[in-house]
Amino acid sequence: MPRSIIANGPVHLHTASATDLPSALATLHQLAAASEDGWRRLVVNLTSPLDPIRELCGRAIGRRLVFRTRSGRIIAGVDAALRGDWIDDATLSDLRVLLPDASFLAWSRFDPAVEGSPEWMPFGRRGWILPRLQLESDGSKQRLVGYLLPGERPEAIEPARASLLVPRRSAVTARMYREEEGQDFQAMVGKAVQTIRSGDIEKVVLARRVDYALSEPIDAAYVLHHLATEGHYAFLIESGEHAFLGSSPERLSRRTGLRLQTEMLAGTVRARSADDAMQLLESGKDRHEHDVVVRSVCERLQPVASGVKGEDQVAVVPAAGGLWHLRRRLELTLNEAIDDAAILGLLHPTPAVCGRPTDNARSFLTSLEGFDRGLYAGPIGIFDGSGHDVAVGIRSLRLSPTTATLFAGAGIVRDSLPEMEFAETEAKMAVARAALPGTG
């Protein structure tokens, strides 16, 4: 993306109001036709509530992006006004000056240094997008926002606008057929435990991949609509016929000004009630697994932040599918205005998705897992004028026209039992399976 486009400000803002989405789309068309040349931000405030994810179901298939924060803020976009590689600091700074009220969606592979396998190639190693058209909701306010770049005619926004006016395609009732796994996960856990006990690594997070053959393509937005869980992040990235989506309980990083929040989610049990889940606090294995993550994150942030709060507070928190986790939250004050890319570079990958020491664990899991994680367990989030809110891309799946691929991982320490770790990954995958059509 030419930097000259970003530098070619200022941005002309055009606003209006409408009652519902059809009238908002008509109003947006009028704003686009009447606006002058240069950067144009077209905003239509809606007086009636709507569900942005639901509005994308059955529409604009193959061209959608969604991110929902844990607090319920939603950005649901169609097409791209701007796109690029992972947001570098200079580009992000320029964009924030030009468009302080805009939201950019960004994502990265678990290991962007590694070339992607063919099934992950449509997503690239990393990427960011300013949606051409997006529905925004923060619970109390909803709006439709469109962008036109310098030199673009009003017609540039028409494909995205028109795609939200057409009747929805109905949800399909595809059948799913589980295929043979190409790995023996319990044997992998056994090898990992042996390596840990030898002292080469302290913890490693092993992932499983399970493929399902599909009788027909599935609309990813319908799946996300069923998968999204209150209090979790939700995300969807589409590239033509391919989609990556999920509903993650884990925050990697949230920055507002100099205030930084991160958390460590490690240690898992499936329980019917909060009282039953309290066994996590008594589990030496789970507490050790969790403490490894906490120590690592604190060490990484110590040079750039101070005023740590919550380091010694551990909680047992619920997640989708009857799962419960140990979680510690950290709130810190950055020593200076450190940029977002540097913060994420310090944090990712945490021992909650990779292991400790990082390089040894990453090398070990890459050789043992036998498949490309792609975007699974990578960072994905939104960046705006005030900071960023980035999730860890877990509890996720990849969709193609013929295959649904589910991912799940488990943290392995010296006391891990292979059958228990396998059961944990099955419980995590069950959440995504429940949002998909029936299995055969």
Segment (H or E) for 292? helix 284-301
Distances (CA, A) of 393 to 7, 92, 430: 32, 22, 16
**Pairing between β-strand 11-18 and β-strand 39-46 as defined by DSSP bridges:** parallel
Picking from 373, 349, 356, 328, the residue whose alpha carbon sits closest to that of residue 414 is 356
Catalytic residue among 250, 263, 289, 421: 250
Distances (CA, A) of 357 to 22, 204, 222, 364, 411: 53, 9, 39, 11, 13
Catalytic residue among 55, 136, 203, 428: 203
Picking from 215, 209, 180, 172, the residue whose alpha carbon sits closest to that of residue 440 is 215
Residue 382 identity (one-letter amino acid) = I
Look up 250 and say whether it is catalytic: yes
How many beta carbons lie within 10 A of that of residue 85, not counting itself?
15
Burial (0-12, 13-18, 19+ Cβ within 10 Å), 199: exposed
Look up 152 and say whether it is catalytic: no
Cβ(159)–Cβ(148) below 8 Å: no
Residue at token pair 């690239």:
124
Residue 286's SS3 state is helix
What is the spatial distance between Cα 416 and Cα 215, in angstroms, rounded to a whole number?
Answer: 38
Query: What does the DSSP assignment read for 405-431?
Result: EEEEEEEE-TT--HHHHHHHHHHHHHH
Q: In whole angstroms, what separates CA 406 from the centre of its chain?
A: 15
Q: What is the CA radius of gyration of the chain?
A: 22
Cβ(436)–Cβ(223) below 8 Å: yes
Residue 218 identity (one-letter amino acid) = I
**Could you check whether the bond before residue 357 is cis, i.e. omega within 30 degrees of 0?**
yes
C-alpha torsion sign, points 180, 352, 246, 276: positive
* Residues annotated as part of the active site: 203, 250
